[in-house]
Structure 1
Amino acid sequence: MSVEVLDGATIVNFVEDEEAFNLAVRHRFGNLDTNHDGLLCYAEMLKELQSLRVFETHYGIDVKLDPEEIARVYDSLFVQFDHDSNGAVDLEELKAETKRMMLAMANGMGFLPVQMVLEEDGFLKKAVERESTKIKQLLN
């Protein structure tokens, strides 16, 4: 994890760079597709759903959550990705939903820079790295 500064424009620019965004989604899909069948079942998607950090601690105090409630939330998140309701998520579904979520995040964030803790292999970290590379290229 690292602390980075980003804004909505950084996210939008990353999503709109089809080559960079598609490469990042394909890479993530490949890591999640443990049985290499070209589809992500619920068990394979669970790691990705958990990375969305829907459940967090509050001010350092762990809150005991009902396991059934947690399961319902993750089930509903899976349904958001499984656009054709076939019980699995393909690459295009992952790409479409990831794009939708990232653009919603950018919209909510706005264009004022904020400092965030980002996971090293996460989409937001890739967006920041892409932006840094572009800036370095302009300066050279």
Structure 2
Amino acid sequence: MIETVFTSQTLIGFISDTKSFESITNDYFKILDLDNDGNLSSSELRQGLNRVVAVESEVASREETDSVYNAIFKRFGENFVAEKFRDLMAEILTAMARALGNSPVIMVVHNDGLIMKAVHHELKQGK
């Protein structure tokens, strides 16, 4: 885990760079696809999504976490191909960006998580 500062523009800029965003989400997809069948089952998604974006937390109850996953499965179905997984990641990051508004935030994130990838992307862009 690492502490970093970012804004909504960090996330939106990352999503908007479709080539980079697609490449990185495809890499995560391959990592989470444990049986290498080109499809993420609900079980694979539940096992690995927290490594990509923080869905679970120490303060959230099991019911709250289940509620998040149930909403994801209701919206996207229970099996994910790479494109559907990318759409889910874009939707999660867009929701986070909306919640942040224009204020910078300091957050503790996974070193190799999607938010940190967005921060690195922004740094490479020189912003």
Calculate the TM-score normalised by the size of structure 1.
Answer: 0.77
Residue 88 in structure 1 maps to residue 90 in structure 2: no
Match of 1:44 in 2: 44
Shift of the 97–80 alpha-carbon distance from structure 1 to 2, 3 Å rule, reads farther
Pairs aligned (count): 125
Match of 2:67 in 1: 73
CA contact (8 A) 2:46 2:69 kept: no
CA contact (8 A) 2:7 2:103 kept: yes
Residue 21 in structure 1 maps to residue 12 in structure 2: no
Measured in 1, the distance between the counterparts of 2:122 and 2:109 equals 15
Shift of the 72–116 alpha-carbon distance from structure 1 to 2, 3 Å rule, reads closer
Alpha-carbon offset, residue 48 of structure 1: 3.2
Match of 1:60 in 2: none
Which has the higher Rg, Structure 1 or Structure 2?
1
Match of 1:6 in 2: 6
CA contact (8 A) 2:2 2:111 kept: yes
Counterpart residue identity of residue 76, structure 1: N
Aligned residue for 2:58, secondary structure, equals: coil
- The alignment yields a C-alpha RMSD, in angstroms, of 2.3
Aligned residue for 1:43, secondary structure, equals: helix
Query: Gapped runs of 5+ residues in structure 1?
Result: 58-62
Alpha-carbon offset, residue 110 of structure 1: 1.2
Match of 1:56 in 2: 58
TM-superposition CA deviations, 1:39-90 (whole Å, max 9, x none): 0112211123445334432xxxxx8x5x6x3684365044146x2x3x4111
State the identity %. 25
Counterpart residue identity of residue 104, structure 1: A
Counterpart residue identity of residue 58, structure 2: E
Alpha-carbon offset, residue 32 of structure 1: 0.3
Match of 2:103 in 1: 112
Query: Gapped runs of 5+ residues in structure 2?
Result: none
CA contact (8 A) 2:40 2:80 kept: yes
